[in-house]
């Protein structure tokens, strides 16, 4: 029997599979609360150090919570997911994993930064003396089961959602996901307290999150990819203080992005005295990569925006 009204999910899994047994079945219009650990699945804690990263079971990161079966959702429909509320934990972490991240060749050693968070008031979190990062909670992973049989890794974004890492999918936003299996089989996870567009070092400000989501079904939407409606501007953080921006120009978008981020890392280190590693982590949690120009082939422009507000 499907739930009407509201329900709670605390059960998680570590891969997408159309044959997963749902942990909950709900009617359209139901609100569900997902109670989630930090994205390490509890393997890290406020006392963890970089040495602990070598002991992580990376195959289980991040755990995703569900799946939830939504009555009436059929292939060809869209599952509509409204983000009603997000409550973060009182701590978080940002890690650099060897072999992962936009500048992985420049930062081959593991690193871990532990954050203390004001979950009640969402005041900016201190990164270092004189440097505070504004909080902007969202879920890095929201998706439904792919129609293709077998197990599919959580770490990849997919045409049915998954690890999208779109920071504008925050409270008030509505996500539409193409349904490929009966009931959609929705799962979510990867709670973030803050992240820049691009998540350049490979992780955001990762934190436990309790997420309240509302589900509806749009019949025969026939979506090719996810889409969403945001209730806030895409670039909105602390406009009154402006941004420092570095640019990368290259025939390859990835190379242009690496140039833009690398130059910002160098600039931060030179101007503030912080290490390049700390600058890289800071860029990941609060700086935004943007494609500024893509029409003048073969010369693409990628810009990296760092809000000056973090130093105010």
**Model confidence band, residue 36 (pLDDT cutoffs 50, 70, 90):** very high
pLDDT at 195 over 70: yes
Query: Same structural domain for residues 88 and 220?
Result: yes
Query: Same structural domain for residues 193 and 165?
Result: yes
pLDDT at 5: 62
236 inside domain: no
Instruction: Report, as an integer, the average pLDDT of 237-252.
Output: 87
- Give the three-state DSSP class for 297: coil
For residue 65, which of 11, 29, 104, 121 has the smallest C-alpha distance? Answer: 11
DSSP string, 117-142: --TTT-PPEEEETTEEE----EEEEE
What count of other Cβ atoms lies within 10 Å of the Cβ of residue 51?
9
Report how many domains make up the chain: 2
Residue 180 belongs to domain spanning = 6-229
Of 229, 252, 271, the last residue of a domain is 229
- Rounded-to-integer distance, Cα 17 and Cα 146, Å: 7
Residue percentage of the chain with pLDDT more than 70: 96
200 inside domain: yes
198 inside domain: yes
Structure tokens at 134: 């504004």
**Model confidence band, residue 241 (pLDDT cutoffs 50, 70, 90):** confident
Counting Cα atoms < 13 Å in the Cβ hemisphere of 274 gives: 20
Instruction: Report, as an integer, the average pLDDT of 193-207.
Output: 97
Query: Same structural domain for residues 101 and 159?
Result: yes
CB-based contact 205:271 (threshold 8 Å): no
Query: Same structural domain for residues 269 and 213?
Result: no
The lowest-confidence range among 8-17, 29-38, 234-243, 282-291 is 234-243
Give the domain CATH number at 99. 2.60.120.580
What average pLDDT is seen over the chain? Answer: 95
Query: Same structural domain for residues 189 and 298?
Result: no
For residue 65, which of 38, 40, 87, 35 has the smallest C-alpha distance? Answer: 35
Of 176, 198, 229, the last residue of a domain is 229
Beta-sheet strands, E only, within 14-170? 15-16, 24-26, 31-36, 64-70, 78-88, 91-96, 111-116, 125-128, 131-133, 138-144, 152-153, 157-158, 161-163
pLDDT digits over 278-306, tens only?
Answer: 999 999 999 999 999 999 989 999 999 99
Give the domain CATH number at 302. 3.10.28.20
Query: Same structural domain for residues 75 and 216?
Result: yes
pLDDT at 236: 54
pLDDT at 208: 98
pLDDT at 233 over 70: no
235 inside domain: no
pLDDT digits over 155-190, tens only?
Answer: 999 999 999 999 999 999 999 999 999 999 999 999
In 155-249, alpha helices (H): none
Of 203, 229, 255, the last residue of a domain is 229
Query: Same structural domain for residues 246 and 103?
Result: no
**Model confidence band, residue 112 (pLDDT cutoffs 50, 70, 90):** very high
- Rounded-to-integer distance, Cα 32 and Cα 5, Å: 8
Query: Same structural domain for residues 133 and 112?
Result: yes
pLDDT at 234 over 70: no
pLDDT at 235 over 80: no
For tokens 């749009």, the residue is 218
117 inside domain: yes
Instruction: Report, as an integer, the average pLDDT of 36-47.
Output: 97
CB-based contact 283:260 (threshold 8 Å): no
pLDDT digits over 114-159, tens only?
Answer: 999 999 999 999 999 999 999 999 999 999 999 999 999 999 999 9
Query: Same structural domain for residues 13 and 133?
Result: yes
Instruction: Report, as an integer, the average pLDDT of 229-235.
Output: 71
CB-based contact 110:48 (threshold 8 Å): no
57 inside domain: yes
Query: Same structural domain for residues 195 and 94?
Result: yes
Sign of the torsion angle spanned by Cα atoms 56, 59, 60, 61: positive
**Model confidence band, residue 231 (pLDDT cutoffs 50, 70, 90):** confident
Query: Same structural domain for residues 72 and 214?
Result: yes
Query: Same structural domain for residues 45 and 135?
Result: yes
Q: What is the pTM of this model?
A: 0.95
234 inside domain: no
154 inside domain: yes
């Amino acid at each position: 029997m499907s739930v009407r009204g509201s329900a709670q999910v605390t059960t998680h899994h570590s891969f997408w599979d159309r044959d997963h047994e749902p942990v909950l079945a709900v009617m359209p219009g139901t609100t569900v609360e997902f109670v989630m650990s930090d994205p390490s699945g509890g393997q890290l804690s406020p006392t963890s150090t970089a040495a602990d990263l070598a002991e992580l079971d990376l195959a289980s990161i991040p755990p995703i919570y569900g799946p939830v079966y939504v009555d009436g959702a059929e292939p060809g429909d869209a599952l509509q997911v409204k983000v009603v509320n997000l409550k973060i934990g009182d701590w978080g972490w940002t890690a650099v994993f060897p072999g992962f991240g936009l500048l992985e060749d420049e930062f081959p050693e593991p690193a871990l930064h532990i954050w203390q968070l004001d979950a009640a008031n969402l005041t900016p979190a201190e990164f270092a003396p004189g440097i505070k990062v504004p909080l902007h909670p969202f879920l890095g992973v929201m998706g439904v089961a792919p129609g293709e049989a077998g197990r599919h890794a959580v770490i990849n974004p997919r045409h049915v959602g998954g690890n999208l890492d779109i920071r504008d999918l925050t409270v008030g936003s509505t996500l539409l996901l193409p349904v490929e299996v009966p009931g959609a089989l929705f799962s979510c996870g990867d709670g973030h307290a803050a992240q820049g567009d691009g998540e350049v070092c490979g992780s955001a400000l990762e934190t436990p999150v309790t997420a309240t989501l509302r589900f509806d079904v749009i019949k025969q939407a026939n979506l090719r990819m996810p889409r969403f409606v945001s209730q806030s501007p895409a670039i909105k953080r602390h406009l009154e203080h402006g941004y420092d921006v570095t640019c990368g120009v290259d025939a390859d978008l990835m190379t242009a992005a690496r140039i833009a981020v690398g130059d910002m890392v160098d600039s931060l280190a030179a101007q503030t005295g912080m290490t390049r590693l700390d600058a890289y982590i800071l860029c990941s949690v609060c700086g935004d990569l943007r494609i500024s120009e893509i029409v003048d082939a073969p010369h693409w422009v990628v810009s990296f925006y760092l809000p000056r507000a973090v130093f105010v």
